[in-house]
Amino acid sequence: MERAHVTVGTGPVSFADVVDVARGGATVGLGQDAEEALARSRAVVEELAAGATPAYGISTGFGALATRHIPADRRAQLQRSLVRSHAAGSGPEVEREVVRALMLLRLSTLATGHTGIRPETARLIAGLLSAGITPVVHEHGSLGCSGDLAPLSHCALTLMGEGDVRDASGALVSASEALAAAGLAPVELAAKEGLALINGTDGMLGMLVLAIEDLRRLLRTADVAAAMSVEAQLGTDRVFAAELQAIRPHPGQARSAANLVALMADSAIVASHRGPDCNRVQDAYSLRCSPQVHGAARDTVEHAATVAGRELASAVDNPVVLPEEHRVESNGNFHGAPVAYVLDFLAIVAADVASISERRTDRFLDKARNHGLPPFLADDPGVDSGHMIAQYTQAAIVSELKRLANPASVDSIPSSAMQEDHVSMGWSAARKLRRSVDGLTRVVAVEVLTAARALDLREPLEPSPATGAVVRLLREAGVEGPGPDRHLSPEIETCVQLVQSGAVPAAAADVIGGLQ
């Protein structure tokens, strides 16, 4: 299949562009407007570099060493030294999709014409992305201020033909070898280029964009799981009526409730307890309040998307080139606070949505609360344990998610001899959010697995067409229905893959014509 192509211009790249490049392997090129903007800003840098007046980042040292004027014959060494010394990451390799997102976003900032980098250097970043060459970036090394310094420096090192990379096949090779194999030549960094390559929030922003993409899908999936749970636990759908949501007009809540109504429509199980013989007054909070929790999560994700959109439209560098005014100015735009805050906020969302999902699951397993289902949904309770330990797995993950919900952005450790005395820790917030998203995926997958088993146990009553489609999806994927105990871990992993791929909400949406 032919890969997509993303052209980077002077305007912001889109969420879809980031996902296409990071996960889809899209090729990348520079637009003509970007080429022209790069040339204009580079002319300003070269004029200042030739002048007698020291200019930060062009003819001076960096950070706490900014007071030293660097003579012209030492400036190429200055740029090399900056990148080499700042490529100080440690720990496990960062995922390929994160590094590709980071590189695209750095290229997007460079293309605005506010960094002073040469066009050929920017083109090399596009070339690396198109060739599938991914610099080895390490887990630890960014404080989320002065940019994601160490991660971006490892990428800049590759442009110099140094360090290690993964080639398109995933093999670990030297940067010089990978560049040569792809027909690409390394660059010798000129004045300001080293600083322009490493001074951005691109790593944390890339992880934010990917997390938003994942959470939007997961929250639709959580609605499906909740509908299956309410239905199989003989709950009512009347609490999700549009007129009840309208009197508390949060948009996410309304969309989530509308999904639940559509997902449970025409269910024989729900219809079986609508009559006057039903003596239940209210369902438990984890069932009845699903739209309130899922809806608040949706609204929070959209707030984070607004912040991410602003950051995608930003040119984050220091100093920044203002070509129209023919000058370079220092600024604080590299501080990651705006991104760090919403990264932390989303970790709270992931923990709480997982928490309510686990509570819905647990109700299935308790014979005092599951309205006639066997204990633990076991085939022969006592001999069989059913889904008892699947809930343990959920509980262990939810406990970890609660720990991960503690914010990173409230911490700050001064660096650079107190020049950089307040930092955002946004990279750390992004790294833990990735673990949170993975955990939420697994928790929701266990709920889907358990609810599907419970719906089968309500036979001969039929579930709704939408939830029935999800049950069929699982069965066709090899997840068997109720029966004696069997190895459960592979079934959980199958459900995890179905949730990650978006197949669960897609199966339901195919029946009801879409989900909000």
DSSP string computed for 104-117:
HHHHHHHTTT-S--
CB 155 within 8 A of CB 172: no
Kindly report the number of other CB atoms within 10 A of residue 39's CB atom.
Answer: 13
Kindly provide the b/e burial profile for residues 258-283, where b requires at least 16 CB atoms within 10 angstroms of the residue's own CB: bbbbbbbbebebbeeeeeeeeeeeeb
Residue 96: enclosing H or E segment and its boundaries? helix 96-110
Instruction: For residue 142, give every residue at least 6 positions away whose Cβ sits within 8 Å of its Cβ, in sequence order, or none.
Output: 148, 149, 150, 151, 203, 204, 426, 427, 428
- Three-class DSSP category at 515: coil
175 close to 158: Cβ distance less than 8 angstroms? yes
| 461/239 Cα distance (integer angstroms) | 22
Cis check: omega of the bond before 484, within 30 degrees of 0: no
Which residue numbers are catalytic?
Answer: 56
Cα dihedral 443, 444, 449, 452 in deg (nearest 10): 150
- Domains with residue ranges and CATH for the chain: 5-200 (1.10.275.10), 208-315+349-410+420-512 (1.20.200.10)
Query: How many Å apart are CA 333 and CA 211, to the nearest integer?
Result: 23
The predicted structure's pLDDT at residue 420:
79
Closest CA to 11 of 147, 114, 145, 130: 114
pTM: 0.95
The secondary element (H helix, E strand) that includes residue 139 is: strand 138-140
Model pLDDT, residue 36:
95
CA-nearest of 488, 402, 400, 396 to 450 is 488
How does pLDDT run along the chain (516 residues), one tens digit per residue?
A: 678 999 999 999 999 999 999 999 999 999 999 999 999 999 998 888 887 777 777 777 666 666 677 777 777 788 889 899 999 999 999 999 999 999 999 999 999 999 999 999 999 999 999 999 999 999 999 888 878 999 999 999 999 999 999 999 999 999 999 999 999 999 999 988 998 999 999 999 999 999 999 999 999 999 999 999 999 999 999 999 999 999 999 999 999 999 999 999 999 999 988 766 565 668 889 999 999 999 999 999 999 999 999 999 999 988 899 988 888 888 888 888 999 999 999 999 999 999 999 999 999 999 999 988 999 999 999 999 999 999 999 999 999 999 999 999 998 888 877 777 788 889 999 999 999 999 999 999 999 999 999 999 999 999 999 999 999 999 999 999 999 999 999 999 999 999 999 999 999 999 999 999
Sign for the CA dihedral angle at 252, 255, 258, 262 comes to: negative
- 37, two tokens: 């903007």
Strand partners of residue 69:
60
3-state secondary structure of 165: strand
